[in-house]
């Protein structure tokens, strides 16, 4: 749903940061045909992401890395190669766009509203607000991929869990050197009975897949994220949680290469979920939904506080061309896991809200075996509690677990 540009604009979001590389979406159907097009059109050396144990953060000049399930690639082309690809773009053979840098960041903890909801000895406040605590479903048999800074695989709440993992962050291991990934994985898939404290995980019985796409500073690139999405699709993950983003300048449209790659993932049975962003300063300034959540095929999630009011930092659907908020979820003072030795932490941000929605999507998928891909996305967008805030800020409303 598109919303009017009616937000205050005391300051503008910075434009996106680019890497100097390019993303390309190919029209050809098979990986062999896709590679041949890039090789013959521009003389690029082609590697396929599924052939490597890890995906390098850097490409050499004249190289391209192909994500065959998405029909997309990231490439480091020289000016002559770029001109050759631009000609093929004008002929409709492909789409070509610059690659962006992406980041994972927390929001400010205080939204300015009182907290009528609070953690209990049994469960965190977010699980109560979204009806997870009373749901009979736990995501059993559903695969969730967390694309972030990795996971502490030896954490006591995950050490006995069968976690499938892979790093796409250069030479970095899957082990989380930042904490953001462990926090988000815990919200989506933490255990029903953690070693300490109340339950904090939405889908404790889901099959957990972890793709590290960000470094220890929580920085990464579109190419690394697309590599993780491609891996999740190849592993038949029903849901991908992407707690990442990069600012979108007011009035900018969403990138078509990324949107089409997300649509292809959805067509293959994988729903992508991402945070709206944490750059607003409500009530004075509401900034646009960030990339990649601005893509219409990706579920964009806003954050609410313990009063179910919109978090002060939560971005909104203020751009007329895409960039709508789809759902809201708890995003203030969210307790979850932390890498050792701390074990537990509390975070705030739309990055916390997105894995709430991802976990609930797994509960819906368990409840209805027919709900996969576009059908799961539609079922998720119908699972909400209306809120007083406008759709610009919270989409349909507060996500709710199935009963």
Pair 141, 73 in one domain: no
Q: What is the pTM assigned to this prediction?
A: 0.92
Pair 58, 200 in one domain: no
Higher-scoring residue by pLDDT: 276, 54: 276
Structural domain total, the chain: 2
Pair 162, 280 in one domain: yes
Pair 75, 138 in one domain: no
Range of the domain at 241: 125-399
pLDDT at site 92: 74
Pair 310, 279 in one domain: yes
**Residue 256 located in a structural domain:** yes
pLDDT at site 352: 97
The three-point CA angle 213-266-272 to 5° equals 40
Enter the tokens of residue 122.
């049994």
Tens-digit pLDDT profile for residues 48-76: 887 765 555 568 889 999 998 999 999 99
Pair 95, 155 in one domain: no
Pair 185, 87 in one domain: no
Highest mean pLDDT among 28-37, 106-115, 146-155, 250-259: 146-155
Q: What is the DSSP letter of 359?
A: H
Q: Which of 48, 69, 102 is the last residue of a domain?
A: 102
Q: Which of 102, 134, 159 is the last residue of a domain?
A: 102
Pair 225, 259 in one domain: yes
- Dihedrals phi, psi of 81, to nearest 5 degrees: -65, -40
The three-point CA angle 339-361-345 to 5° equals 20
**Residue 111 located in a structural domain:** no
Enter the tokens of residue 245.
């983003």
Pair 66, 169 in one domain: no
Q: Which residues are catalytic?
A: 148, 180, 351
Tens-digit pLDDT profile for residues 198-229: 999 999 999 999 999 999 999 999 999 999 99
Q: Are 241 and 353 in contact (CB under 8 A)?
A: no
**Residue 77 located in a structural domain:** yes
Q: Which of 67, 102, 137 is the last residue of a domain?
A: 102
Tens-digit pLDDT profile for residues 2-53: 232 233 333 445 557 899 999 999 887 787 888 888 898 889 999 888 776 5
């Amino acid at each position: 749903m598109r919303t009017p540009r009616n937000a205050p604009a005391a300051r503008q979001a910075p434009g996106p940061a680019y890497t100097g590389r390019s993303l390309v979406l190919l029209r050809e159907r098979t990986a062999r045909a896709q590679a041949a097009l890039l090789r013959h059109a521009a003389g690029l050396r082609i590697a396929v992401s599924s052939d490597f144990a890890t995906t390098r953060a850097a490409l050499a000049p004249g190289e391209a890395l192909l994500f065959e399930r998405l029909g997309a690639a990231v490439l480091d082309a020289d000016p002559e190669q770029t001109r050759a690809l631009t000609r093929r773009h004008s002929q409709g053979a492909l789409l070509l766009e610059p690659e962006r840098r992406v980041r994972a960041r927390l929001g400010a903890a205080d939204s300015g509203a009182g907290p009528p909801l609070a953690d209990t000895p049994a469960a965190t406040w977010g699980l109560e607000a979204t009806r997870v605590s009373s749901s009979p479903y736990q995501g059993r048999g559903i695969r969730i991929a967390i694309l972030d800074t990795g996971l502490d695989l030896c954490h006591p709440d995950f050490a006995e869990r069968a976690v499938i993992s892979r790093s796409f962050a250069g030479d970095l291991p899957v082990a989380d050197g930042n904490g953001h990934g462990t926090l988000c994985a815990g919200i989506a898939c933490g255990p029903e009975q953690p070693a300490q404290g109340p339950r904090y995980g939405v889908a404790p019985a889901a099959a957990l897949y972890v793709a590290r796409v960000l470094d220890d500073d929580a920085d990464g690139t579109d190419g690394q994220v697309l590599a993780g999405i491609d891996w999740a699709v190849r592993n038949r993950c029903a849901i991908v949680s992407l707690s990442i983003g990069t600012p979108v300048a007011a009035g900018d449209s969403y990138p078509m290469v990324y949107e089409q790659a997300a649509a292809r993932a959805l067509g293959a049975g994988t729903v992508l979920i991402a945070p709206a962003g944490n750059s607003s300063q409500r009530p004075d300034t509401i900034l646009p939904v960030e990339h990649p959540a601005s893509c219409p095929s990706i579920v964009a999630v806003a954050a609410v506080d313990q009063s179910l009011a919109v978090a002060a930092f939560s971005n909104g659907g203020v751009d007329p061309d895409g960039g709508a908020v789809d759902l809201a979820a708890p995003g203030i003072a969210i307790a979850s896991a932390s890498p050792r030795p701390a074990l537990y932490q509390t975070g705030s941000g739309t990055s916390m809200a997105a894995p709430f929605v991802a976990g609930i999507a797994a509960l819906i998928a368990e409840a209805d075996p027919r709900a996969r891909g576009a059908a799961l996305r539609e079922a998720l967008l119908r699972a909400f509690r209306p809120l007083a805030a406008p759709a610009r800020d919270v989409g349909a409303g507060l996500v709710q677990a199935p009963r």
